[in-house]
Chain A
Amino acid sequence: QVQLVQSGAEVKTPGASVKVSCKTSGLSFNVYNIHWVRQAPGQGLVWMGWINPNTGATHYAFKFLGRVSMTRDTSIQSIYLELSGLRSDDTGVYFCSRGTDYGDFDHWGQGTLVNVSS
């Protein structure tokens, strides 16, 4: 059974950094890219980038370049998203998801709420 379990909610002040984890199981960890998607309150989905768990290769959306970092720990099949220089408009729910060969995202984590507020 494929599972992606994310870390709990975070409250951060502007300018700080946040690191969100996504622990995977049952999904052939090294085979598929893991993507991160953000959803601001009441808004739509925004793709942030992907990481290849096998090689550690990453590709980030232009919008987040310079502020985002995706890493992995293969020993515990976990993926991490770090976002720095937080602003109030970074507030939202961050989802990890597994990408497939078709380009869809077939399994999702439950989401992690990040609240950026002074």
Chain B
Amino acid sequence: QSILTQPPSVSGAPGQNVTISCTGHTSNIGANYAVHWYRQFPGTAPKLLIYGNTNRPSGVPDRFSGSKSGTSASLTITGLQADDEADFYCQSYDSSLSGWVFGGGTKLTVL
């Protein structure tokens, strides 16, 4: 069981918007530690998608956006495309564990 909770799966049709939630605790997200998001295609390494709650690394389309409020964070993908299908993970730092924690991952299916 992961410290950060994500829905196991989300889906949407091409062109639609989807949001993936990441629920934490007062020892991680709620303690004002930054939330980061990664996308992982099967058989490959995760790739940074959002850092510092809302920032996109160079090359990441603005269809991907992050937000954070209280003990939760969200990743929103607008204008879904077929090749967006992947697994998405949130990540933060946890003070009670003195280490980094990941969400359990969310599988995005484009219908």
Contact = CB atoms under 8 A, between A and B. Distances in A.
Interface of A: 35, 37, 44-47, 49, 59, 61-62, 95, 97, 100, 102-106, 108-111
In the complex, which range does the number of interface residues on chain B fall in?
Answer: 20 to 34
Most A CB within 10 A of own CB, among B46, B52, B98, B105:
B46
Contacts of B89: 44-45
A108 B97 contact: no
* 9 nearest A-B pairs in the assembled complex, by CB-CB distance: A104-B36, A104-B51, A108-B45, A47-B100, A45-B102, A44-B105, A102-B52, A44-B104, A61-B99
B interface, by DSSP: helix, strand, loop or mixed? strand
A104 B47 CA distance: 11
A114 to B, nearest CB: 15
Interface string B29-47: 0000110101000001111
Contacts, number: 64
A38 to B, nearest CB: 11
Contacts of A105: 36, 38, 46, 48, 91
B7 to A, nearest CB: 13
B45 A110 contact: yes
Interface of B: 2, 33-34, 36, 38, 44-48, 51-52, 55, 57, 89, 91-93, 97-105
Nearest to A35: B100
5 contacts: A45-B91, A62-B97, A97-B45, A104-B36, A108-B45
A95 B52 contact: no
Contacts of A97: 45
B36 A103 contact: yes
Nearest to B106: A44
Most A CB within 10 A of own CB, among B44, B47, B48, B93:
B48
Given A45-B89, A102-B36, A104-B34, A61 B45 contact: no
